Amino acid sequence: MQIASLIKRVQKRYPGSIISKIHDEYHVMYADESLNEMFLLPGFESEFEAWSQISQFVKVEQSINRTHPLKQMISEQKKRESQERIANRMHG
């Protein structure tokens, strides 16, 4: 995968994120915070490696958020509310 597509994936989730070199290690920064630290990752030796690893963690984070049980419960609740609203409209 090319570095441009890795950067695009990370910046889609964390807009304005940039690469920064701290003590000879590369960190991806977002809003003055290191995404490396947020995902409990060490600094990386190259920019490509940093973007690549952070990109993988962004993918995992999106998958977890997509399948989180609370999201499914909220979705079911909204579905019921919608059904009730439609039923009330039909009978009212």
pLDDT tens digits for the chain (92 residues)? 799 999 999 999 999 999 999 999 999 999 999 999 999 999 999 999 999 999 999 999 888 877 777 766 666 777 778 778 878 888 76
What pLDDT score does 70 carry? 73
In angstroms, the CA 27 to CA 45 distance is 9
H helix runs in the chain, sequence order: 3-13, 35-38, 47-67, 69-91
Structure tokens at 75: 């979705």
Closest CA to 26 of 61, 10, 12: 10
55/36 Cα distance (integer angstroms): 11
Q: What is the pLDDT of residue 86?
A: 79
Spacing of C-alpha 43 from chain mean position: 19
Q: The whole model's pTM is what?
A: 0.71
- pLDDT value at residue 74: 67
Tokens of 25: 């290690």
